[in-house]
Each structure stands twice: as C-alpha cells, then as structure tokens.
Amino acid sequence: MGNAISISGSTYTVRGTVIDQATSLGVVGLNVVANDRDLIGGDDFLGIAVTDATGAFVISFDASRFKFLIFDRSPDIYFVVDDGGTVLLNTRDNPIENAKDDVAAITLSVDLSGDKLRGLINPTAVPGWVGGFAQSNPAFSYPTPDLSSLPMLDNLANIGLLQRQQKVVWPEFSWLTEPNAAAPKRCYQQFAPDISRLGYTNEGRVYSIICPQQGFASPTLGSMNVEVTVTGNRGWADETVRELAADMAVTGKIWFGPSAHGGKVLQKLAKILDKAGHPFPFTKEHAIRVATFNPGHPDQPIFPLTKGQTDAFPIPAFAQHSALAWTVGHLGVEIGHVEKTGVNIVDEFNQLILDIFNLASGNMLLAGTTLTWNVWFTAPDLVDQAEWRDHAEKWRRSIDADHGSADGNGTSPRFFDGSPFKPGKALLAEELPKISVFVAKHLL
C-alpha cells in the first residue's frame, strides 16, 4: 500500500478513508476538510474532499496555503469530517505533525449514531405511487414545461390534499459575493436539511412547497433570518422518471432572531420605528420584504423549479449529492430592491438593515444578484398532514430559536475551492458607522 501523503514539488496530495465506527465500513458522501494547525496566527484551510462509495477521499493543495514567508516548514494536518454541517470528527488535538511523505495510512472513524441527516434519507420510495398527472396535459412535458393552464394556488391552503412528499435533505444555495468585481467569487452553502419539502398527490399534482431559511449574525445587531418565502405554487412530480416541474411565487424576507431582541442597539432602532408607528421586524410577520423576479425578467414574479442541477456555473463536489439523493431540481431567483412602505424613515431603516445583512451574508440579497439553489431530494415517503401543517407553521414563523433545524444547521459558506467565506472585521468596521448615522439622525 502506498503512502497516505505524497509530495510533488510544492503540491501535497493526502489520501485517506472515513469509516463508520459501528460497522468499520466506508461512509459515502461526507465532507472531509484538511487544515493546518497553527498556534500562531490561526489555522490554515488546506483543502476539501467528499468521500466516495468506499469512504475514500483525496485532498490536494499547494504549500503556499500553509508556509510562512520567513521560513519553510511542513504542515501539521488535521481533519474535520462533517455531514451537511454536522461535525462528526475533528482531529485538531491529534494532528499529523510535520507531515511528510512517510505517513502510511489515514483512517478516520466516525460515529453516525447521532447524525440526524442520515436518518432523513429514504433508500427507496414508499408504495402507493399512481402517477398520471404529469401526462394529463402535453404542455406539461419537458424540455419546456408550460404550467400556465394550472392556477397558482395558495401554498398552505391545500395541505389536506397532500399524500406524498419528497424532503429536501440537501438544499444547496449559491450566489456571487461580489457580483460587480472584475473576478467575482461564488459562494456555496448548504442550508439546514428537512426545512424544504415538495408535497403532492398520489397522481403527482403538487399542492405545497416549503422553502428553506438561513440565519446570519451581525456583530452589532445579532442574528438575522432570511427566507425566500413561497406564496403560491403549481406543478407536478413524476416518481417513475424522478422528475418534477413546478412554478413558484416567492417573496424575500428578513427579520431578527430571538437572541437579537434584547440588544441595546436594536432597542434604539426599535424606538425609532415605534415613533413612526411601524412595527419592528422582530418576527417573520413583520419582516422586511425584498422584491424578487425570474432572472433577467423583472416583470415576471413566477419562478420555474425544473429538473437537474443548474448549468449556469460550475458546481464543486462538496455541493453535489448524487451518491445519496433520489433526484435534484434547481431554481433561480433574481433579487430586486427593498419594497417601499411609503414612510421615509421606515424605508431608510429597511435599506439600512438590508445593507447590513448583505455585509454579513456576502451580498446574498444585493439587488441584481441571482440566488440559485439545487435542491437534492431523498426518496418519496407519505405525508402526515398534521405533521406537515406543524412543520410548515414552525418554519413560517421563524427559524428555530436561532440555531436552525433540529436535523442539522447546514454548512458554512465556502468558495469553489472550499475555502471559507468570512466577513470578519471588515463587517464590524462598515456596519457601525451606518447604524450610528441613522440613530443620530432619527433618535438624538
């Protein structure tokens, strides 16, 4: 057996295997991040890989990721293994010190017993599928499904008709963090599993779609939530060929999570809105609304959810889940401007919060940005209508107590090469002056 680490010039290649400690079998579809432990100046990201069907992974990186300018050294490599953001193993306290090409084998053993994401995966579809709705009108067919003959239905009005569902275990989002830069960088992030679902009848008519949410933290204001909220839908699913086509009407919303409500700065801002007779966005009901439209078509408020991954940009391996998913669809939403209320002070406040949110999230809701997600479904199962209603109501109101889904929080945003997106100190430096100017103008 060859060595686990090979070095060619300045390129390091690390090979290893992740196994389930209960079975000693390899585990497919896990993210393995390699870092260099550095006791001075913070750790360095080296690379990321996804385990294959045998649990094997390969990570390659250049020495420039870890070498100091003043002297050469070898990396102290440690691994973080996660499943959709749930960390299963972190070997930082036991790194491969001064890593050379004499490391014989790397085997990482993980405990899957607490990995709730794996518990969401259905290996096969439950019985009961009838089908036929996708074929009931020739216009519904690919390559260009036309669903305009169907009415757009209220997204929560027909839960009593739902019989089957596909859960989005891997909602993969992507957006440009600096869309106007000469060489813009694209961010990739998996949101929390089993927030989003597709609900339909045994024949395949879609009647409800639940969309994901995500939270971001402002150093000054605290946690903020964002959701592209589904307000209407129409469409079909066909389990026989594992395809779907649905239209959605959506609205972008931002509001503050519970942990932010007691903040002193936020209370000052709330006082300003209270004087204007406008409710503060402490809840989703009073969220700041951001206009959305079909990319490139500002007059089109309806968005198609279609089969496959988007082909608009390259997708890294860590954002793909074909080894475990039942099927995948994609959707693109272009972000417009914050919706006006007609009250100048409120509109100014809403724009301030949107600007701060974009600092924290990497311009996720910057006007002109196209937010794209590939939604990876697990195999169909049956709908418990009471559970669906409770699930929809829970996520309709707010992200769960600032800590995301009980089934996992999702991943941190990364660029294509896997390096993490971090707004860092620049966020604090930019947001404080913005808030101070607004408070001084309207409260003092």
**107 DSSP 8-state letter:** E
Q: What pLDDT is attached to residue 224?
A: 81
Same domain, residue pair 162 and 85: no
Q: How confident is the model at residue 138 (pLDDT cuts 50, 70, 90)?
A: very high
Question: Strands 164-176 and 186-190: what pairing?
Answer: antiparallel
- Same domain (yes/no): 307, 341: yes
Q: Is residue 128 located within the same domain as residue 71?
A: no
Q: Is the dihedral of CA 113, 116, 121, 127 positive or negative?
A: positive
Main-chain phi, psi angles of 376, to 5 degrees: -100, 115
Return the number of other C-beta atoms located less than 10 Å from residue 243's C-beta.
Answer: 19
User: Do 416 and 358 lie in a common domain?
Assistant: yes
Q: Is the pLDDT of residue 295 over 50?
A: yes
List, in sequence order, every residue forming a beta bridge with 19; answer none if it has no partner: 26, 109
3-state secondary structure of 234: strand
List beta partners, residue 206: 200
268 and 415 both lie in a single domain: yes
Q: What is the mean pLDDT of residues 286-308?
A: 91
Question: pLDDT for 175-203, tens place per residue?
Answer: 998 887 788 889 999 988 888 899 999 99
Residues 124 and 23 in one domain: no
Among 92, 114, 136, give the residue marking a domain's end.
114
Same structural domain, 122 and 252: yes
| End-of-domain residue from the set 84, 114, 144 | 114
Specify the pairing of strand 327-338 against strand 370-377.
antiparallel
pLDDT digits (tens, 9 = 90+) for 32-42: 999 999 877 78
Q: What is the rounded CA–CA span in Å between residue 80 and residue 92? A: 8
Burial (CB < 10 A; 0-12, 13-18, 19+), residue 169, is buried
Burial class (CB within 10 angstroms; exposed 0-12, middle 13-18, buried 19+) of 10: exposed
Q: Which of 62, 93, 114 is the last residue of a domain?
A: 114
Mean pLDDT computed over 123-143? 97
Residue 400: the pLDDT is 44
77 touches 61 (CB < 8 A): no
What's the burial of 344, exposed, middle or buried (CB within 10 Å: 0-12/13-18/19+)? exposed
Is a pLDDT exceeding 70 seen at residue 318?
A: yes
Residue 3 has pLDDT above 90, yes or no: no
Indicate whether 132 pLDDT > 90: yes
Question: Per the structure, how many domains does the chain have?
Answer: 2
Element (H, E) at 371: strand 370-377
Give the confidence band of 441 by pLDDT, cuts at 50, 70, 90. Answer: confident
Residues 131 and 201 in one domain: yes
Could you give the C-alpha distances from 27 to 84, 88, 167, in angstroms and in order? 14, 12, 21
- Domain with 80 in it: 5-114
Token pair of 409 as six digits = 């929080």
The answer to whether the CB of 374 falls within 8 A of the CB of 172 is: yes
Query: In terms of domains, do 212 and 246 share one?
Result: yes
Report strand pairing: 77-83 vs 56-62: unpaired
Summarised one tens digit per residue, pLDDT across range 53-97 is: 999 999 999 998 886 645 557 899 999 999 999 999 999 999 999
- Please check whether residues 94 and 207 belong to one and the same domain: no
User: What per-residue confidence (pLDDT) applies to 70?
Assistant: 52
Statement to judge: residues 375 and 232 lie in one domain:
yes
| 373-421: pLDDT as tens digits | 899 999 999 999 999 888 777 765 555 445 455 556 788 899 999 999 8
Return mean pLDDT, the chain.
88
pLDDT at 401 (0 to 100)? 42
On whether both 50 and 147 belong to a single domain, the answer is: no
Q: Which of 281, 435, 289 is nearest to 352 (CA)?
A: 435
Q: Are 315 and 373 in contact (CB under 8 A)?
A: no
